[in-house]
Structure 1
Amino acid sequence: MQATWAGDVINVSGHLSTVVTLACARCLAPVTSSLEIDLSLCYSNKGEDDNQEVPEELEVRSEELGLITYSGQEIDLRPDLAQEIVMSLPQQLLCSTSCKGLCPNCGVNQNLNTCDCEKPQFHAGLAALKDFKVKQ
């Protein structure tokens, strides 16, 4: 990590490497994944410009500029680094591309066992449309 002071803003940049263990999106088996994150965070001292009176419609808040406010002599990077990690997580992590997932009826992991459940012919979310008739 590198921190530089540029006027009223402190820029923190660097590279973050970490390993996370999450559940497979299909079968819920634990999956370990490594994350490589390049980050750049900009901090502004809280309350620096509080004495200036600016009309509300012209006021630009530090959050709108992408600045993170801090107060005091130290900046705790942990919450912001944790947020960067969460934002870098894959939306759908799979144990393998051929993962069969869980049976929608009994919940058995279909990668490890088979079940005797009847396989639905259509997506269960569309069951309400099964008897839908279109008038011509």
Structure 2
Amino acid sequence: AHVQQKDAPAPPPGTWGAYSTKSQESTGVIGMLDLLIKDLDKELTEAATSEKNSQADYEKAMAESASKRAADTKLLAEKESTKADAEVALQQHEQDKTDSVQELMATAKYISSLHVECDWLLQYF
């Protein structure tokens, strides 16, 4: 009798090892998310600061515009008053001129009548 001896069976193929977390890979993703959150917070802070500065600049410009508009309105009123005074003075001077011309014409007429009388007196006396 022939006895055959069989070799022991080969060990089963390797499978996944015991369950463990992939801490390094998850830390990398969480780290990237944390970095994104920090960047967004920084950008939001910068945007808020920029908006605040822009609003302050706008309010300053509006205040300056209002001040300039008030000054321009006052200056315009002063110039209109000066113009009105000048127009009144012009009308007065025109009236004075008209009166002077009428007086001059009356004087010239009187001189002319005196001249006629003097010529008559010189001719006959």
Specify which structure has the higher proportion of helix: 2
Q: Is the strand fraction higher in 1 or 2?
A: 1
TM-score in terms of structure 2 length: 0.18
TM-score normalized by the length of structure 1: 0.17
Higher Rg of the two aligned structures: 2
